[in-house]
Amino acid sequence: MKRLLCIFLAAVLCFSLASCSVKDDTSETTTAETAPTTTLPVPEIEQSTHSEEFRDENGRVVYTVDVIVPHLDEFENTVLMAQVNTLSNEIFKEACDKAELNIENASKFMDSRNSATPWSRRIDFEVSFLNGRFLSFIIKEYFSSDGTEGEPAYRSATFNVLDGSPCYLTDFAPDSNRDDIAGKIIDRLLCPSVSSYFYGGQPLSEEQKQLVHDSFFYENFYLTADGVGFYMSSYVFNPQHSGVYTCHYTWDELSGIMTLPE
């Protein structure tokens, strides 16, 4: 009898140990499954279209605004969704505010030209980079006073998809470069590019280099599929050039200055 009781207790102990082992394995699996992710599914970028007409005191349409901006609907990250949609609303409002302020100017211009063509402002966008972690937009704004659109003005916005926060140029710089990232980008990359495009590859004078420095703004960048794009006014380098001058550099070319966070 005692022998049978010992065998029974030993069996119970082995079963208990096996149960503990299974529980530990399950716990480890659960922890691994709930580890923080570093990417999110690609959001579906929709378009939000807005149009508005502005009339002078005679009821004549003298200014039109047509805007196509990005829109996120039911995206997993509600912070990002709010950031993008708020930006889009601000873009449309700013375009309407410009039109409102120029109703009289547009009316007088049309009268002076005996024209029936109203001034117009048209805005559209491109998604320039999306890899499950960063989302970068280029907003292009076209203005016309006679029905002919010139080169667009640019603005850009980049967001971290994971937390919805806006991204700044210094977010892509190694810690040691954060204070001097603009200087490194300008001196090592932008000056040679401007020299090649505007001045036939001739070395820039100190005055021309200063123009590049004065034309660089931290917010004027966007991510591309393999690097970063920068833009600035073409007019400051050559009055015969209108619109925006853009230049792009790969992560390899930006090595030591900027890097894509892992």
- Is 46-160 a domain of CATH 3.40.50.300? no
Please tell me the pTM assigned to this model.
0.80
The answer to whether 102 and 112 have CB atoms below 8 angstroms apart is no
Which residues contact residue 54 at a Cβ distance below 8 angstroms, ignoring those fewer than 6 apart?
61, 62, 63, 64, 65, 96, 99, 100, 103, 106
Q: What is the pLDDT along the chain (262 residues), one digit of tens a residue?
A: 444 434 433 443 343 434 434 334 333 333 334 334 455 566 789 999 999 999 999 999 999 999 999 999 888 889 999 999 999 999 999 999 999 999 999 999 999 999 999 999 999 999 998 878 899 999 999 999 999 998 999 999 999 998 999 999 999 998 767 778 999 999 999 999 999 999 999 999 999 999 999 999 999 999 998 999 999 999 889 888 778 999 999 999 999 999 988 7
Q: Domain coordinates of the chain in residue numbers?
A: 46-160, 169-250
Runs of H (alpha helix) within 34-102: 78-101
